[in-house]
Structure formats: structure tokens, C-alpha cells
DNA sequence: TGTGTATTTGAATCGTTCTTCAACTTCGAT
DNA sequence: ATCGAAGTTGAAGAACGATTCAAATACACA
């Protein structure tokens, strides 16, 4: 038997277990037992905490998104130069490789969002937050005279997030040519054009 | 009973039925009975033609992609001006609305491709073909002196397809602000910058 | 018109997953 | 140390989907 845990602790465990199970089997393909296995419990125990599996799955996706977004913020927080910020932010939006769990979890939802309003809202909200993130970097860079923007910062930001998203899909689908480095360079090519800045790529 | 049909005809019907069923329930969520219902048959009849449901689903996705790609080619074929071609091609890569069946079918695969090699290859191939499509338009425009490209045409093309893909997801997820028109304008903003052409948006 | 084959049905069966729940265990509070 | 509440198990059964197949049907062709 698995060690007994408090309600709060167990729910955190289960959200993590659900996240792993989703990565293995897909949002639609996950079954109660998959989650139970990942958590080292029986299906009954899972049901005790989450009588409705779909609620657990939503929480797992939600948690995964928050983590993804928080990590991006954290990585850029220590930097002050807008150009550096921009480069690092672009990198942090891309998967490190085809198996990157953060991006793979997000990609799971692309199709589901068309059928499931809750997932649609989650994804849309994340998109908007990422756009705002880029926008603040661009605004700051423009204010400091580091960037000479050729477009409305909102337009640039929306396109940057869109590019990240799309290349995330390509990378997780194992495109033979477009890996993390290539994707970063493609996005940087756009960023350079619209900011008028050379934006040196950083080693990852 | 449903009218009896020849093997070839019925297989075409089933592929269509599977396509609709996938849109309703998702690639993972489709069941034999869903397909049977859409086709107006019983599950036994479906199994008679496709003993393995997953094969039928692959064929449905494959057919959906081919249709999507062929339609794009067809729409642009009658045009000769590269600028017009570019604008129309951008439009044809976007869904007409949140329920656009062509794009919704493609979006279904984004997540699955990370777990399923067959779907990954399908999606990757489609991506590359779309890139080639843009590339030939850009090359022609550059050769005719209509476009003054600021980048390698391959880079531009990859980014254009990436932008389409990403905004397709936003639109099918019903982003409150980004609809087909807005997405087209965002992509055109990029296209204008890298081609040096005004690229008048066309009514859809 | 009759015959043979391809297609389809419908029902039976099997395996899987969800759900329920009584019994058991663990832990904290007293 | 004991009690009681919370957490967990494991088994039973309900629900569902896939699979099989004999029987029925529709069609092509002679």
C-alpha cells in the first residue's frame, strides 16, 4: 500500500500523476487507471479525491500551464537588457527537444480546445498572457531606445507568440530539420526585422 | 437498412464519416459506433471494410489534409500576380471561422503527433509542402521584381506557414479578438515587412 | 428469373473501464 | 492507549465498446 497522505498533498500528487498520464496517453486517451498507476494508487483512491476524472485533467492542464508561464517569467526576471530579455524569452517559449513535457502538455490541448470550452479558455488566456509578456519587453526596449519598432508592439507580440506555438508543434512532431536551434533562429529573424536590433542568439 | 454500395464507394463514404466523427469526438475520442452512425451503418459494416479503426482514422486525416492542400493550390492557381497570390494564399491557410472543418481536422493532430509517428509524418509533410508553396510564390515575386525580400525565402515561408498554423489554433479556440480577418492582417503585417510590398488585403 | 457473391445486419460474447462500497489501515487528537 | 475520522484497498457489478459470426439482404450477371 502506498503511504497515506493528507488531502491537500494527495491532490497535488494526483495532479502531477495526471500530467504524466496525459503525456503518455493523450488528454482523450487517459484512463482512471493510468492516473492511478502514475500516482502509485488504485483507481478507488483517485476517485476518492476526484470523483470526476475530467476535473482532475483540467486541473492538471491548468497547473501545467501555470508552471510553463511562471518558468518563462522567472528566466527573464534576472535580466535587465531588453534585447537579452527578448532573446531569452523567445528561447523559453520553445521546447528544449521533442519530448519537452511543458510544451507537449500544451500541444495536447490544441485540438481539444475546439471541442471543449474550458480548454479553449485556458489556452486563450495563456496566449494573451504571453502576448502581454512580450509587449512589456518591447515597450521597455522602445522606451530605452534599444528597439526601433517597425510595427505596433501588440502586432509583433502576437506574432512572436504565434511563431513559438507553431514551432513548438513542429519540434514535438520531430521535424527532421526544424529543431529548437533552428526554430529560435527563425523567430529571431522576425524579431530582428521588427526591432531593428541584432539580437545575438544565446547558447541554450 | 442503408443502401448497399460497392467496396470502393463505401470506403470513400467511411472516410468521410470518420472525418466528421473525428471533428465531433476528437481523434482519440472517436469510437467505432460514432463512425458507423455518421455513415448510417452498423459497427459491423464499418469493420467489414476497415477491420482496424485506426487505419480508417489515418486515412481520414490523410484525405482531409490532401483536400486542404489541394484547395489552397486551386484557389491560387487562377492568379498570376505574385502579390495577389501571396495574399490569397495567406487567407486560404486560415479557417473561415471557428468551426472550419478543414483546419479543425488538422488541429486535432497537433497533440497526437507527439505520440504517434504516423500522424507526425503526415503533419510534417504537409508543413513542408506548404512551405514550398510559399517559397515558389516568393521566388517568382522576387524574380519579377515585385518583391524585395529582406530574408531568405525559406525563412519567410517557414514563418508564414507557422503563423497560419498558430492563428488557426487561436481561431478554432474562439479567441475573442483574433478572428480570420485579424489573423490575416497580423500575418500580412509580417509579409509586408519582408517583401517590401503593400499587399492589399482582399475581401474573403 | 435464378444463382452466387458481396454487403449488411443484429445478436452474442469478450474484454476493459467506471463506479460503488464494505472492510481495513493509518494517523491525529484527546 | 484509544477513538474517530480520513484515506486506501480490493472485489463486485454495471456500463460500454470491440469483435465475431450466422443469417438476411441486395445486387450483378448469366
A169·B123 Cβ contact <8 A? yes
Work out the pLDDT band at A5, boundaries 50, 70, 90.
confident
Across A1-15, b (16+ Cβ under 10 Å) vs e yields: eeeeeeeeebeebbb
pLDDT, average across residues A154-159: 98
For position A83, what pLDDT does the model report?
97
- Considering only CA atoms, which of B103, B158, B167 is closest in space to residue B135? B158
Residue B17 contacts residue A16 (beta carbons within 8 Å) = no
Given a cut of 70, the residues of chain B with pLDDT beneath it are 1-2, 203-204
- Cβ under 8 Å to B: A residues 30-89: none
B170·A124 Cβ contact <8 A? yes
Residue B2 contacts residue B41 (beta carbons within 8 Å) = yes
pLDDT tens, residue by residue, A73-105: 999 999 999 999 999 999 999 999 999 999 999
If you ran DSSP here, which 8-state letter would residue B52 be given?
S
pLDDT tens, residue by residue, A7-64: 888 999 999 999 999 999 999 999 999 999 999 999 999 999 999 999 999 999 999 9
Which residue has the least CA–C1' distance to nucleotide D8?
A45
Q: Where are the domains of chain A?
A: 7-63, 69-195
For position B1, what pLDDT does the model report?
47
Fold classification of B69-195 is Tetracycline Repressor; domain 2 (1.10.357)
3-state secondary structure at position B93: coil
Residue B19 contacts residue B64 (beta carbons within 8 Å) = yes
| CATH number corresponding to A7-63 | 1.10.10.60
For position B47, what pLDDT does the model report?
97
C-alpha cell recorded at residue B66: 490532401
Residue A168 contacts residue A180 (beta carbons within 8 Å) = no
For position B2, what pLDDT does the model report?
64
For position A27, what pLDDT does the model report?
97
Question: How many residues can be counted in chain B?
Answer: 204
A154 touches strand C (CB under 7 A): no
If you ran DSSP here, which 8-state letter would residue A64 be given?
H
- Cβ under 8 Å to B: A residues 133-172: 150-151, 155, 158-159, 161-163, 165-167, 169-170, 172
Amino acid at each position: 500500500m502506498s503511504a497515506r497522505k493528507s488531502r491537500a498533498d494527495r491532490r497535488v500528487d494526483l495532479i502531477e500523476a495526471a500530467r504524466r498520464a496525459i503525456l503518455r496517453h493523450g488528454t482523450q486517451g487517459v484512463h482512471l487507471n493510468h492516473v492511478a498507476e502514475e500516482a502509485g494508487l488504485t483507481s478507488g483512491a483517485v476517485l476518492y479525491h476526484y470523483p470526476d476524472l475530467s476535473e482532475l485533467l483540467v486541473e492538471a492542464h491548468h497547473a501545467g500551464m501555470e508552471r510553463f508561464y511562471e518558468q518563462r517569467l522567472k528566466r527573464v526576471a534576472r535580466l535587465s537588457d531588453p534585447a537579452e530579455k527578448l532573446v531569452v524569452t523567445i528561447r523559453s517559449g520553445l521546447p528544449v527537444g521533442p519530448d519537452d513535457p511543458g510544451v507537449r502538455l500544451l500541444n495536447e490541448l490544441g485540438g481539444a480546445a475546439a471541442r471543449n470550452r474550458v480548454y479553449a479558455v485556458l489556452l486563450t488566456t495563456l496566449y494573451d498572457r504571453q502576448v502581454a509578456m512580450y509587449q512589456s519587453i518591447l515597450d521597455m526596449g522602445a522606451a530605452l531606445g534599444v528597439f526601433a519598432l517597425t510595427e505596433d508592439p501588440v502586432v509583433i507580440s502576437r506574432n512572436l507568440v504565434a511563431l513559438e506555438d507553431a514551432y513548438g508543434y513542429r519540434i514535438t512532431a520531430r521535424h527532421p530539420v526544424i529543431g529548437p536551434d533552428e526554430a529560435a533562429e527563425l523567430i529571431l529573424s522576425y524579431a530582428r526585422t521588427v526591432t531593428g536590433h541584432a539580437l545575438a542568439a544565446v547558447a541554450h
